[in-house]
Amino acid sequence: MRLPVLRIAALMASFVAPGAAQAGTLQDVVARDELNCGVSIGLKGFSYQHPEGHWSGLDVDVCRAVAAAVLGDPDKVAYTPLTPKERFTTLQSGDVDLLSRNTTWTLLRDAALELNFAGVTFYDGQGFMVREDLGLTSALELDGATICVPIGTTTELNLHDYFKAHRMELRALRKENTPDVAEAYERGDCDAMTSDRSGLASFRSQFEDPGAHILLPEVISKEPLGPVVRHGDDQWFDIVKWTIYLLLQGEESGVTSENVDEMRASDDPTVQRMLGVSGDLGRQLGLPDDWGYQVLKQIGNYGEIYDRSVGPQTPVNLPRGLNALWIDGGLMYPMPIR
Ligand SMILES: N[C@@H](CCC(=O)N[C@@H](CS)C(=O)NCC(=O)O)C(=O)O
């Protein structure tokens, strides 16, 4: 692990960085020696607490990557499981430093809730899950159906829009504690469950008989999911944003947790800058210059995270699709690390 003195030196440099906003999240995290991260309650593949206590998933790995960048240690994270309704107030009040919880980027959340989305870590859309034996083939056949839906989500808003647009009668069964939505659906309290399609795949993987449930083909919204910070702390916003770009650029440049030590000797200038072999990009963020090395060594790149969390080899089994890198025809496009 990195020497504390390096962190303190980087932190002191960040106090004098010209033009840097000093709202203090970085300083608080370093002083506490722990990152407070808000996550979902139990969404396998995204954030899930194992019976032995540790957490895993794509959203959890974003928390861990930020902890590796800032503290040199991905295990220095305290997780707070949050319902959709309480997630924003918990972030606004300062009880968490970062919200990494399948949260959709919208105008109102940006402007009215005074939050900043640091990027998109998963491009998704809303769908419907039904029992296969109902024999449905389209969401347009759900007229008059009872739909299980979580309170305080874009899901709820899109559901109303969709039923209104198609002049269908909606009976919504709303639940605040989101795992209750899946339980109510599995119990048969509603005919369909609606959520982000990744969430539906995740819940289905945890059902007693996953094969008995299908996702209907309609994708009724755009759900760009990503980590969120408070307005007013540009330095912290930058750190989270560039940690995500680093994960993506790691994949684009072929740097993995396995080969990162060899890659330090690479003569590719982007790789050199990412790993802190040349330049001072870490210091410009208020971090040690090996921040990128720490992230890629201890977490791996975005592709590695995706594959082990939600990829086709996992029970959640989501193809890369829109979440492929731009060079592979997807939407994942890291800004230039320079
Ligand atoms: N992306 C949507 C929905 C997010 C959401 O919380 N969905 C529920 C669906 S039931 C969920 O994933 N819950 C999982 C959990 O809290 O563990 C939003 O930002 O409003």
Tell how far the Cα of 104 is from the centroid of ligand 1, in angstroms: 9
Measure the CA dihedral 37/11/20/289, to 10°: -90
Beta sheet of 171-175, edge-to-edge order: 171-175, 146-150, 192-196, 126-131, 213-215
Atom 19 in ligand 1: residue holding the nearest Cα: 103
- Which residue out of 46, 196, 203, 219 has the highest number of ligand 1 atoms within 8 Å of its CB and is therefore the one to mutate? 196
Beta partners for residue 124, in sequence order: 223
pLDDT tens digits for range 189-226 = 999 999 999 999 999 999 999 999 999 999 999 999 99
Which pLDDT belongs to residue 7?
53
Residue type at 135 in one-letter notation:
G
Mutate to test the pocket of ligand 1, among 39, 41, 43 (most ligand atoms within 8 A of CB): 43
The reported pTM is: 0.93
For residue 178, name the pLDDT band (cuts at 50, 70, 90).
Answer: confident
In angstroms, the CA 317 to CA 232 distance is 38
Nearest CA to ligand 1 atom 12: 199
| Angstrom distance (rounded) from CA 129 to CA 4 | 49
Q: What are phi and psi of 225, to 5 degrees?
A: -100, 135
Q: What is the pLDDT of residues 295-311, one digit of tens each?
A: 999 999 999 999 999 99
Which residue minimizes the CA distance to atom 6 of ligand 1? 84
Mean pLDDT of 90-114: 97
Q: Where are the domains of the chain?
A: 4-122+225-328, 126-221
The 3-class SS string of 10-61 reads HHHHHHHCCCCCCCCHHHHHHHHCCEEEEECCCECCCEEECCCCCEECHHHH
State the distance from the centre of ligand 1 to the C-alpha of 146, rounded, in angstroms: 19
Residue 9 has pLDDT above 80, yes or no: no
Query: Is 121 a pocket residue for ligand 1 (Cβ < 6 Å)?
Result: no
Q: Decide if 4-122+225-328 and 126-221 have a common fold.
A: yes
What pLDDT is recorded for position 324? 98
Measured CA distances, 17 to 20, 203, 266 (Å):
6, 45, 30
Which class is domain 4-122+225-328? alpha beta
Per the listing, tokens 């870490």 go with 282
Cβ–ligand 1 distance for 196 under 6 Å, the answer yes
Is the minimum distance from the CB of 25 to ligand 1 under 6 angstroms? Answer: no
Contact (CB, 8 A) for 103 and 39:
no
Nearest to residue 20, comparing CAs of 290, 335, 233, 230? 233
The predicted pLDDT at position 303 comes to 98
At residue 259 the predicted structure's pLDDT band, cuts being 50, 70 and 90, is very high
Q: Domain 126-221 is in which class?
A: alpha beta
Give dist(CA 240, CA 226) in Å, integer.
10
CA of 303 to the centre of ligand 1 (A): 23
Say how far apart CA 110 and CA 107 lie, in whole Å: 5
What is the Å distance from ligand 1's center to 84 Cα?
6
| Burial (CB count <10 Å: 0-12, 13-18, 19+), residue 219 | middle
Question: CA–CA separation, 123 vs 1, rounded Å?
Answer: 33
Question: Residue 179 burial by CB count (10 A; 0-12/13-18/19+): exposed, middle or buried?
Answer: middle
Distance from residue 144's CA to the centre of ligand 1 (Å): 24
- Considering just the CA atoms, what is the radius of gyration of the chain in Å? 21
36 lines ligand 1 (CB under 6 A): no
Decide: 223 in ligand 1 pocket, CB within 6 A: yes
Asked if 120 and 105 count as a contact pair (C-beta separation under 8 A), the reply is yes
What is the CA(176)–ligand 1 centre distance, in A? Answer: 10
Report d(CA 38, CA 78) in Å as an integer. Answer: 9
The per-residue pLDDT for range 35-52, each reduced to its tens digit, is: 999 999 999 999 999 999
